[in-house]
A and B are shown apart, each in its own frame.
Chain A
Amino acid sequence: EAGVAQSPRYKIIEKRQSVAFWCNPISGHATLYWYQQILGQGPKLLIQFQNNGVVDDSQLPKDRFSAERLKGVDSTLKIQPAKLEDSAVYLCASSLGDQETQYFGPGTRLLVL
């Protein structure tokens, strides 16, 4: 069974630029999560989708971050404009349902200069 796929694996941008990350969850997984992992810290949830609906986006900085999962499968996370403090690894995870174990992708490493 294929795992959670993410792209790109690495991205370097300058502050105030925009960037987008893509995630393809495990086939059949209804729940999708985006986490931000700053160096030296544990991951923190940004947003959780159940199919194409948002369950929890309370920790998402909505002035610059947006995410969508239009067809309930793939998802994109966008940052516009990026700040230096957005440098982190962005992890996507998926689970069968909202009370099931989460499986993580390899992450996208973002460096904002």
Chain B
Amino acid sequence: GEDVEQSLFLSVREGDSSVINCTYTDSSSTYLYWYKQEPGAGLQLLTYIFSNMDMKQDQRLTVLLNKKDKHLSLRIADTQTGDSAIYFCAETNILTGGGNKLTFGTGTQLKVEL
């Protein structure tokens, strides 16, 4: 089945850039997503990228997709303390028919230090 992997933890200083990485196994993935989860809260959609794109930028967020290596990254510029959260990478394959199941990674805990 599909598998999505992420590193568990990342620590950065406030004002620096953060880069969170993700690898996936499903070569037929159609959309890849980044969700943010703060303590005790649900998942907040940050951004997503269609599989035929290499890059997407949205304000402080930049998503890079290397489809050949099945590698996705999320760069947060000028990281703030409010960015401290768990970040989940997820993929879906709408071509399998019938469903739109999101397969999530285990999440990366981002800690922003002053």
**Residues of A with Cβ closer than 8 Å to B?**
4, 6, 31, 33, 35, 40-45, 48, 55-56, 91, 93, 95, 98-107, 109
Instruction: Point out the residues of chain A lying under 8 angstroms from B90, CB to CB.
Output: 42
Q: Which residue of B lies closest to A95 (CB)?
A: B100
**Residues of B with Cβ closer than 8 Å to A?**
4, 33, 35, 40-45, 48, 88, 90, 94, 98-102, 104-107
Instruction: Point out the residues of chain B lying under 8 angstroms from A91, CB to CB.
Output: 42-43
B81 to chain A, nearest CB (A): 22
| A42-B88, A44-B104 known; A55-B42 Cβ under 8 A | no
**Among the interface residues A6, A33, A43, A95, which one has the most CB atoms of the partner chain B within 10 A?**
A43
Q: Total contacts A to B, CB within 8 angstroms? A: 59
Contact A105 B4 (CB under 8 A): no
State in angstroms the CA–CA spacing of A101 and B4 once bound together: 18
Instruction: Point out the residues of chain A lying under 8 angstroms from B94, CB to CB.
Output: 98-99
Contact B102 A45 (CB under 8 A): yes
Q: Which residue of B lies closest to A57 (CB)?
A: B99
- Show 25 A/B contacts (Cβ-Cβ < 8 Å), sorted by A: A4-B42, A41-B106, A42-B104, A42-B105, A42-B106, A43-B43, A45-B102, A48-B100, A48-B101, A55-B99, A56-B99, A56-B101, A91-B42, A93-B43, A98-B94, A98-B99, A98-B100, A102-B45, A102-B100, A102-B102, A104-B42, A104-B44, A104-B45, A106-B42, A107-B42
A108 to chain B, nearest CB (A): 10
State in angstroms the CA–CA spacing of A109 and B39 once bound together: 12
Known A40-B106, A103-B45, A107-B41; further 4 A-B contacts with Cβ < 8 A: A42-B104, A42-B106, A43-B104, A91-B43
